[in-house]
Amino acid sequence: MWSMDIGIDLGTATVLVFVKGKGVVLNEPSVVAVDQNTNKILAVGAEAKRMLGRTPGHVVAVRPLRDGVIADYTITEAMLRYFVKKITPGLSRLFRHRVMISVPSGATGVERLAVLEAAIEVGAKEAYLIEESMASAIGAGLDVGEPRGNMVVDIGGGTTDIAVISLGGIVVAEALRIAGDEFDEDIVRMVRKKFNLEIGAQTAEAIKTTIGTCYRSGEVMRMNVKGRDIVQGLPKQVEVTSDDVMEAIEDSVLSIIKGIRHVLELTPAELSADIIDRGIVLAGGGSLLKGLPELIFEHTHISTYVAEHPVECVVLGTGKALEELDNLKRSGAVMSAFKRGSRRG
């Protein structure tokens, strides 16, 4: 029976899929467009995201994951089924695979079980879970098995996972439900309040990635932003600056830094010494925010750098974790489930 190893980064904003021997084969928004009149799924992924804010009243584009965990089980299962089918075209459900999926460290036991069951439902022979921070550290190329401290901060769409890892296990961790999506919401509120302009989430994300910064470097970037004037109800264009964005997201960024400091305060002294030597590794799409490493260094006095492939760290880590499965199971870093009729672990 033919099978393959699949790693999935089941993110609030994006789903990435890794296949052993092929690398990252899929990177699409975790969005599903649904016809409310018929409950029929009209589009998934990039096609569905293009519908956000642009659909008729009976068509809704929804994100079935909130804060990194399943908010709508049925739609999440359908989305996973679509993505798995897309990377394995023409294959029967009889072709079962080993699947490793990442979850936030703050996910509850019920939430973790829901992810495992969704993987089994879409055809996995064996399904495993790994915490995002561990997967991110593995994907960033850190040697998590050695008896030395590594600190990783994974800033995704819905959650920020902060962890200190040693000997294949997580020593101290904190999961914050503040991340890239919160930055976008901050920008939407700022533009509404300062310019009386209503913009959507996609426009806010474009502002963040184009001129977003959290650290004043002397250069002020500018961007023309279009939306709907709240007072007149007509289309309008305004100029937004990087200083506007920095002010808008300041509280959210400082909350993440507060979480980093809290984890550092709880870290054993010997591992703290390792972190001073090795620095803090940033991963996830949110780590690309301009000025973030500099701001974290300013608040912690610890060297901070962004991983080589920050957006793909978690999904690369899930793939590598399947290769190191026995070691990770011994350290308790993975949770597993097997197809119906088999045992659960």
Residue 343 lies in a domain: no
Report pLDDT digits (tens) over 264-311. Answer: 999 999 999 999 999 999 999 999 999 999 999 999 999 999 999 999
User: Does residue 193 share a domain with residue 101?
Assistant: no
Instruction: Give the angle 33-26-201 at the CA atoms, nearest 5°.
Output: 45
- Look at residue 155 in the predicted model and tell me its pLDDT: 96
User: Does residue 259 share a domain with residue 153?
Assistant: yes
- Look at residue 92 in the predicted model and tell me its pLDDT: 47
β-partners of residue 14 are 29
What confidence tier does 329 reach under pLDDT thresholds 50, 70, 90? confident
Q: How crowded is the C-beta side of 296, counted as CA atoms within 13 Å?
A: 28
Residue 152 domain boundaries:
141-178+253-306
Report pLDDT digits (tens) over 8-61. Answer: 998 888 999 999 889 999 999 999 999 888 888 889 998 888 877 677 778 888
User: Does residue 64 share a domain with residue 10?
Assistant: yes
Residue 70 lies in a domain: yes
CA–CA gap between residue 154 and residue 132 (Å, rounded):
7
Q: Is the separation of the CB atoms in 263 and 150 below 8 Å?
A: no
User: Does residue 285 share a domain with residue 169?
Assistant: yes
Residue 39, by phi and psi: left (phi above 0), alpha (psi -120 to 50) or beta? Answer: left
- Look at residue 94 in the predicted model and tell me its pLDDT: 38
User: Does residue 119 share a domain with residue 31?
Assistant: yes
What's the rounded mean pLDDT across residues 249-262? 98
What confidence tier does 118 reach under pLDDT thresholds 50, 70, 90? confident
CA–CA gap between residue 59 and residue 63 (Å, rounded):
13
Report pLDDT digits (tens) over 178-197. Answer: 999 999 999 999 999 999 99
Task: Give the pairing of strands 5-10 and 14-19.
Answer: antiparallel
- Look at residue 66 in the predicted model and tell me its pLDDT: 82
Report pLDDT digits (tens) over 55-78. Answer: 777 888 888 888 777 888 888 888
What are the tokens at 135?
């997967």
Residue 344 lies in a domain: no
What confidence tier does 338 reach under pLDDT thresholds 50, 70, 90? low
User: Does residue 333 share a domain with residue 230?
Assistant: no
What are the tokens at 204?
């806010």
Higher-confidence residue of 253 and 112: namely 253
Residue 242 lies in a domain: yes
Candidate from 117-121, 209-213, 238-242 with smallest mean pLDDT: 117-121
Q: How many domains does the chain have?
A: 3
Burial class (CB in 10 A: 0-12, 13-18, 19+), 238: middle
- Look at residue 343 in the predicted model and tell me its pLDDT: 42
- Look at residue 342 in the predicted model and tell me its pLDDT: 46
- Look at residue 95 in the predicted model and tell me its pLDDT: 53
What's the rounded mean pLDDT across residues 223-236? 95
User: Does residue 215 share a domain with residue 201?
Assistant: yes
Q: Is the separation of the CB atoms in 304 and 151 below 8 Å?
A: no
User: Does residue 223 share a domain with residue 171?
Assistant: no
What confidence tier does 114 reach under pLDDT thresholds 50, 70, 90? confident
Q: Is the pLDDT of residue 121 over 90?
A: no
Closest to 312 (Cα-Cα) out of 119, 85, 156, 104: 156
User: Does residue 320 share a domain with residue 277?
Assistant: no
Residue 201 lies in a domain: yes
CATH no. for residue 289? Answer: 3.30.420.40
What confidence tier does 228 reach under pLDDT thresholds 50, 70, 90? very high
Q: Which of 200, 231, 248 is the last residue of a domain?
A: 248
CA–CA gap between residue 5 and residue 323 (Å, rounded):
9
Residue 345 lies in a domain: no
Tell me the DSSP string of 59-127: EEEE-SEETTEES-HHHHHHHHHHHHHHHSTT--TTS-EEEEEEE-TT--HHHHHHHHHHHHHTTEEEE
User: Does residue 217 share a domain with residue 168?
Assistant: no
What confidence tier does 2 reach under pLDDT thresholds 50, 70, 90? low
Contacts of residue 314, Cβ cutoff 8 Å, sequence gap at least 6: 9, 11, 16, 102, 132, 135, 136, 139, 154, 156, 283, 284
- Look at residue 107 in the predicted model and tell me its pLDDT: 82
Residue 22 lies in a domain: yes
CATH no. for residue 221? Answer: 3.90.640.10
Residue 83 lies in a domain: yes
Q: Is the separation of the CB atoms in 96 and 123 below 8 Å?
A: yes
Query: In terms of DSSP H, where are the helices of the chain?
Result: 46-49, 73-87, 109-121, 132-139, 180-195, 201-211, 242-266, 269-278, 292-300, 313-323, 325-330
Tell me the percentage of the chain whose pLDDT exceeds 90.
60
Contacts of residue 292, Cβ cutoff 8 Å, sequence gap at least 6: 214, 215, 253, 282, 286, 304, 306
- Look at residue 91 in the predicted model and tell me its pLDDT: 53
User: Does residue 107 share a domain with residue 168?
Assistant: no
User: Does residue 192 share a domain with residue 108?
Assistant: no
- Output the CA–CA distances (angstroms, integers) from residue 137 to 165, 225, 287, 312, in the order listed: 8, 37, 14, 11
